[in-house]
Amino acid sequence: MKVLKDKTITDVQNFLASGISGGLKKSGKKDLCVIYSKVEAVGAAVFTTNKVKAAPILLNMENIKSDNIQAIVVNSGNANSCTGKLGIENAKKMGETAANSLGIKPKEVLVQSTGLIGLQLPMDKIIPAIEKGCSMISNTGGSDAGEAIKTTDTYAKSIAVEFEIDGKKVMMSGIAKGSGMIHPNMATMLSFIVTDANITKEMLNKAFKSSVDDSYNMISVDGDTSTNDMSAILANKCAGNSLIDCEDEKFNIFKNALDFVNVELAKMIAKDGEGATKLLEVSVLNGKDIKSAKACAKSVITSDLTKCAFFGADANWGRILCAIGYSGADFDPEKVDIFFKANSKKIQVAKDGMSLPFDEDLAKEILLEEYVKVIIDLKDGKENATAWGCDLTYDYVKINGCYRT
**Beta-bridge mates of residue 278:** none
Residue type, 106: P
Nearest partner of 56 among 101, 90, 21, 104, judged by Cα? 90
Selecting among 10, 188, 227, 386, the annotated active-site residue is 188
Tell me the C-alpha to C-alpha distance, in Å, between residue 153 and each of 20, 57, 117, 187, 269: 17, 21, 17, 14, 8
Nearest partner of 4 among 235, 237, 260, 190, judged by Cα? 260
Q: How many helices and strands, by DSSP H and E, does the chain display?
A: 11, 17
Give residue 118's region: left, alpha or beta (phi > 0; psi -120 to 50): left
Nearest partner of 276 among 372, 192, 149, judged by Cα? 372
Alpha-carbon dihedral angle through residues 128, 98, 148, 72, given to the nearest 10 degrees: 170
Alpha-carbon Rg for the chain in angstroms: 21
| Size of the chain, expressed as the number of residues it contains | 405
Dmax of the chain from CA atoms?
A: 68
Report the C-alpha gap between 375 and 356 in whole angstroms. 16
Report the C-alpha gap between 37 and 21 in whole angstroms. 22
Q: Using an 8 Å Cβ cutoff, are 84 and 118 in contact?
A: no
Residue type, 144: D
Q: Is 188 a catalytic residue?
A: yes
- Residues identified as active-site: 188
